[in-house]
Amino acid sequence: MSIRRCALLCLSALVVLSSTASAAENGFEYGSGLRGPAEWGGFCANGTKQSPINVVMADTVLDKSLGDRLDTEYGKCTYAVIINDKSAHHLDVEGDGSFGNLTLNGVKYELVKFHFHSPSEHTIDGVSFDLEVHLFHKSADGKFAVIAIFFNESHEDDAESPFLKQVFSWLPNITQPDTNVTTMAPITLESLPLQGSYAQYSGSLTTPPCTEGVSWVVMLNENRLVSAGIVLNYVSNTENVLSAVRRIPKGFPGSEQQARSEYKMPECHAFRPSLIRR
């Protein structure tokens, strides 16, 4: 990698850190403090389609319009920048180039980054998971689509995720807040578990400004992950940058919205919850 290319990557990371720091200063924090999720204003407090949600399986009806699988074209990115972004409360992975794309409801989105939450933000029938991965996509006209994937810790050797193993192998290099590391090997997304059941609904970003109109795809299968232990250890040693989780909103206006969620069973049937009470 050239010095100029490295400089551009580092500058890009600094821009991300700077912009998210201002958001934190304006009241963006986690926990039960004065700037925690319960105190977030704007759409976060008054929106009618806020994320995350609890996917209630019993509140689903058949929707045959969904395809057999998600329409994704993911491959390899030569380099990626992994950022311990304390200001944004995220462990972000941003590509040096495109990770690939997702076509959803006729709209093409580019995968621009992914990040992690432990425990999960979304739940299924009230059950949470050890880890939730968000694949963050953006369309040419600025619309967002996010795929959420769940993992639970496993002690079986064959449960390892090649995709996450690549990312987690770099965690010891960014234990300090607001640090980043550039991977020197391809980040491969081809092994992502995108088969099987999934839910689709129109929601929001899970951080301020909690913008609505985000197309969510929630994979409903539980995936096993040996490296979950690495993640939990990382959380305990990095001021909990991964444990930044927005809980399912309760008591906000619109909290009993009609989520219009959809999910596809492995046998290629699809369902849509008529109402999700959160």
Residue of 277 and 40 predicted with greater confidence:
40
Neighbours of 213 (CB within 10 A): 11
- To the nearest whole percent, how much of the chain has pLDDT over 70? 59
Residue of 38 and 213 predicted with greater confidence:
213
For the chain, state the CA radius of gyration: 18
How far is residue 202's CA from residue 50's CA, in Å, rounded to a whole number? 9
For residue 59, what pLDDT is reported?
Answer: 78
pLDDT tens figures, 153-197: 877 766 667 777 788 778 778 877 788 888 877 777 877 888 888
Greatest pairwise CA separation for the chain in angstroms: 55
208: cis peptide before it, omega within 30°? no
- To the nearest whole percent, how much of the chain has pLDDT over 90? 21
Mean pLDDT (the chain, rounded): 70
Residue of 186 and 240 predicted with greater confidence:
186
How far is residue 236's CA from residue 194's CA, in Å, rounded to a whole number? 29
Residue of 276 and 79 predicted with greater confidence:
79
pLDDT tens figures, 247-268: 665 543 333 333 333 433 322 2
How far is residue 139's CA from residue 50's CA, in Å, rounded to a whole number? 20
- Burial code (b: 16+ CB inside 10 Å, e: under 16) for 161-178 equals bebbebbbebbeebeeeb
Active-site annotation holder among 89, 90, 117, 137: 89
For residue 259, what pLDDT is reported?
Answer: 37
Residue of 93 and 4 predicted with greater confidence:
93
Q: Are 242 and 180 in contact (CB under 8 A)?
A: no
Q: What are the two backbone dihedrals, phi and then psi, of residue 51, each rounded to the nearest 5 degrees?
A: -115, 155
- Whether 155 is catalytic is no
Tell me the average pLDDT across 220-244. Answer: 60
For residue 101, what pLDDT is reported?
Answer: 93
pTM here?
A: 0.75
How far is residue 180's CA from residue 210's CA, in Å, rounded to a whole number? 26
Strand-pair partners of 147: 135, 217
Helix (H/G/I), strand (E/B), else coil: 75:
coil
Q: Which domains does the chain have, with CATH numbers?
A: 3-273 (3.10.200.10)
